[in-house]
A and B are shown apart, each in its own frame.
Chain A
């Protein structure tokens, strides 16, 4: 089991993630080419300006209005993306040598993902206008995103049965990879596209700003 999960399953999941992502992007771009009011109005400069604003913490009024959410959301996403990519244990498993995070840093970053996830969870349950649009799938998705981090944490400290926990950790990691293109996590891929379209609609067409 461990051998399969740490080897073939990972590569299969990665392949599904990459192929699925390419498929999703190609499909939507192909659709966009059919839509006469999208591509003719797209301009790189307006897109980059707006995306730059929206990936800068507190770069927009929306973010400044909700400072706690902004701080949590940025930390959550940065840690979510970079902890698995820059973790020494992951590099060793794959047999690659890359710049990696010192253990204590990776540790804090993992904790940030878990705390951030819990923050989103309480928001989903307690804030009426978020709760109103929260479906079971939203909660499940959040738990699935947190799962590799929780199990990673447990594995590091060797709490519970290490072998079981690390196997679960790898399974959740693979699940995470597979669901990226096929669930709402696809926002990771589409963010730049939807933002760029709105940026051009506001900037190029309407001489205005979308932040």
Chain B
């Protein structure tokens, strides 16, 4: 039908290690993981799937590639787990190279396909199982593995050292004081109501977001703190690489840091996967049924302080603006209507996307895909034309992305498909354009 085969992409993390592996190692690892994963879900899913292909309508990769069968979710399962089960692990190295590529770079585990499958089969679970196998074999994209190594050694994603972390917070506290002289970033304040946690790219490359947090928290009069120790980073790439041991360690430290600080809840910055890690995957992998400390995503928190009047809107943003529904906090946390309420509270020309809420298209960056780095960027961007077209159709000049992965992913696709739109976080909208600084906090002459 004229669908092109995949272009060759070189990735040292996958290619080099594959050379060293023996076919026996591959077979043993596959069978070990599949035997452990042959639980009720996997068994029922394998027997129930009737190969109907309805999930193809859900996937942004498939939709962006003219319904190319190899990008249909069921096609990806066929080229990974089905084949492994059928051949009882006796697969070739070439097969594993493609399986790793599919699992790490062609699926964001956004779970949209489960909403289009009549049986609700968790296709992302098959993909994650494939990643687990690849992780155990050591065939992980090099850039992704580097972030996991950083997590493992430093408990944060970007090799940020403790002194750098504290220094960055103090620097951003000073920046925040340019707007509100009394703004603080309280470190290690035991018994505060809120522990605020962020992902490591914030101190590393987007430090102004920390100043924004300080301005918003101070203006809203919140009792809050940030940890000076490890445990401040709520991101978790190990969850996506298949390194579940490291993943569990990270989530445990994040929650235990909040417990140590005796806070009532964790509020996290605008990041989707971090929420997934802290609320779903993390607790389960640490034998907690639910998070031991309530976790509140930024959208929910902004909604709370705006609707309760703790933050006043001085002026609504009047340029045409739209929004991205990040999978991990909308489809997988139901914050979609709250996001719209805060958009309408702060913007006079809000233009919604279609499809929206849980049915929104993924950004193609999350689920660890953007972390696979430059070798895979072209594939990632080409695989999300549908998102660029969806945003273009709104006619907006700005798009709010309350998630770091969405932010970076959408910036890339807008550039590739020539959609002229600024990508901003909600905190930037609030601090730079909308919020009122309470009179008693303003600088006195």
Contact = CB atoms under 8 A, between A and B. Distances in A.
B354 to A, nearest CB: 11
A45 B23 CA distance: 48
Contacts of B51: 130, 133-135, 138, 184
B47 interface: yes
B62 interface: yes
A130 B75 CA distance: 9
Taking residues whose C-beta sits less than 8 angstroms from the other chain, chain B's interface range is 35 or more
**By CB atoms of chain B within 10 A, which of A62, A65, A129 has the most?**
A129
Chain B interface SS verdict (over half): loop
Interface in B57-102: 57-58, 62, 67-70, 72, 74-75, 78
Contacts of A60: 115
A127 to B, nearest CB: 7
A62 B358 contact: no
Contacts of A54: 118, 120
Given A38-B41, A131-B69, A132-B78, A61 B115 contact: yes
Interface string B31-53: 00000000111011101111111
A25 B44 CA distance: 10
Interface stretch (A93-101, A169-177, A192-200): A192-200
Interface in B249-283: 280
Among B48, B332, B359, chain A packs the most CB atoms within 10 A around the CB of B48
With a 10 A CB-CB cut-off, give which of A32, A193, A194, A205 has the most chain B CB atoms. A194
Contact of B358 (A27, A38, A194, A208): A208
B48 A208 contact: no
A66 interface: yes
Given A40-B289, A62-B54, A132-B72, A210 B40 contact: no
B57 A206 contact: no
B48 A209 contact: no
Contacts of A186: 47-48
Contacts of A62: 54, 57-58, 115-118
Contact of A210 (B57, B67, B69, B120): B120
A201 B45 CA distance: 15
A18 to B, nearest CB: 18
A195 B116 CA distance: 12
Q: Is the interface of A mostly helix, strand, loop or mixed?
A: helix
B120 A133 contact: no
Contact of B331 (A27, A37, A208): A208
A3 interface: no
Interface in B339-389: 355, 358-359
Interface string A136-177: 001000000000000000000000000000000000000000
B189 interface: no
Interface residues of A, number: 50
Nearest to B120: A198
Contacts of B187: none
B103 interface: no
Given A38-B41, A190-B44, A198 B358 contact: no
A69 interface: yes
Interface in A27-81: 27-29, 31-32, 34-38, 40-41, 50, 54, 60-62, 65-66, 69
Sorted from nearest, which 3 A-B pairs have the closest CB atoms?
A: A198-B120, A132-B69, A207-B334
Given A65-B116, A129-B74, A132-B72, 19 more contacts: A61-B359, A62-B54, A62-B115, A62-B117, A62-B118, A69-B54, A128-B1, A130-B53, A132-B70, A133-B72, A184-B49, A184-B50, A194-B120, A195-B119, A197-B41, A198-B122, A202-B332, A206-B333, A210-B114
Interface of A: 27-29, 31-32, 34-38, 40-41, 50, 54, 60-62, 65-66, 69, 127-135, 138, 184, 186-187, 190-191, 193-195, 197-199, 201-202, 205-211
17 contacts: A29-B40, A38-B39, A61-B355, A65-B116, A128-B1, A129-B53, A129-B69, A133-B51, A133-B72, A138-B51, A186-B48, A187-B47, A193-B44, A198-B121, A206-B331, A209-B358, A210-B114
